[in-house]
Amino acid sequence: MSKPPVVCQLASLAVFMLVAPVGGPARAAAQGRPKKPGSSPIVRPLAGGGGGGGTTYRVTVTPNGTELSEPPNTQNLTVVFTVRNTGTGDAGDSYVFDCSVTYGVTCVSVSPTSAGLNPGESVDVTLTYNTGTSSGSPYLLANGGHANGQGWYYVRLYGAPTITLKNYNGDNQDRSLCLTSGAGEAAAWQCGDLLVTHGLPGFATLGRDRSLTLLYTSAQAVPRPVVAASVEEANVGVPTTVFVRLAVNGVGRDSATYSGWGSQYTPTQRQVVLSHDAMSDASGIYPITLTVRNQYSGGTYDATISDTMIVVNRNASVYGAGWSLAGIEELRLNQPGNKILWIGGDGSAKAYRNVGTNVWQAAAGTFRDTLRYDATAQTYTRTLRHRVQVVFDAQGRHFQTVNRAGQTTQFYWNPTSGRLDSIAVPPAVTSRPVYKFTYD
254, 288, 310: which is the final residue of a domain? 310
Read off the amino acid at residue 271: Q
Q: What is the CA radius of gyration of the chain?
A: 38
What's the distance, CA 66 to chain centroid?
Answer: 26
Question: Residue 429's pLDDT band (boundaries 50, 70, 90)?
Answer: low
Q: Which of 149-153, 167-171, 363-367 has the highest mean pLDDT?
A: 149-153
Total structural domains in the chain?
2
In a domain, 295, yes or no: yes
**Domain housing 303:** 162-167+224-310
Distance in angstroms (rounded) separating the CA atoms of residues 258 and 294: 10
C-alpha distances out from residue 432 to 46, 377, 401, 435, Å: 113, 24, 15, 10
pLDDT band at 53 (very low <50, low <70, confident <90, very high): low
Domain termination residue (choose one: 282, 310, 338) = 310
Q: Which burial class, exposed, middle or buried, applies to 404 when counting CB atoms under 10 A from its CB (0-12, 13-18, 19+)?
A: exposed
CATH of the domain at 75: 2.60.40.2310
**Beta partners for residue 7, in sequence order:** 16
Alpha-carbon distance 140 to 156, whole Å? Answer: 18
Whether 264 maps to a domain, the answer reads yes
Question: What are the distances in angstroms from CA 78 to CA 128, 134, 137, 148, 153?
Answer: 4, 17, 12, 22, 11
What lies within 8 Å, CB to CB, of 356 at 6+ separation is: none
In a domain, 247, yes or no: yes
* Bridging pattern class, strands 64-70 and 148-157: parallel
- Determine, yes or no, domain membership for 304: yes
151 and 54 within one domain:
yes
Residue 369 lies in a domain: no
Q: Tell me, yes or no, whether 124 and 229 share the same domain.
A: no
pLDDT tens, position by position, 183-199: 999 999 999 999 999 99
- Domain presence at residue 64: yes
Residues 229-247 have pLDDT tens digits of 999 998 899 999 999 999 9
DSSP strand pairing (434-436 vs 269-275): unpaired
**Contact assessment for residue 233 and residue 161, using Cβ atoms and an 8 Å cutoff:** yes
Give the DSSP letter string of 378-430.
TEEEEE-GGG-EEEE-TTSBEEEEE-TT--EEEEEE-TTT--EEEEE-SS-ST
Residue 68 has pLDDT above 90, yes or no: yes
DSSP string, 341-379: EEE-TTS-EEEEEEEETTEEEEPSSS---EEEEETTTTE
Q: Is 60 exceeded by the pLDDT of residue 296?
A: yes
CA dist 349 and 172 (Å) reads 6
pLDDT at 350 exceeding the cut of 50: yes
For the stretch 100-121, pLDDT in tens is 999 899 999 999 999 999 999 9
Q: Flag whether 187 is in a domain.
A: no
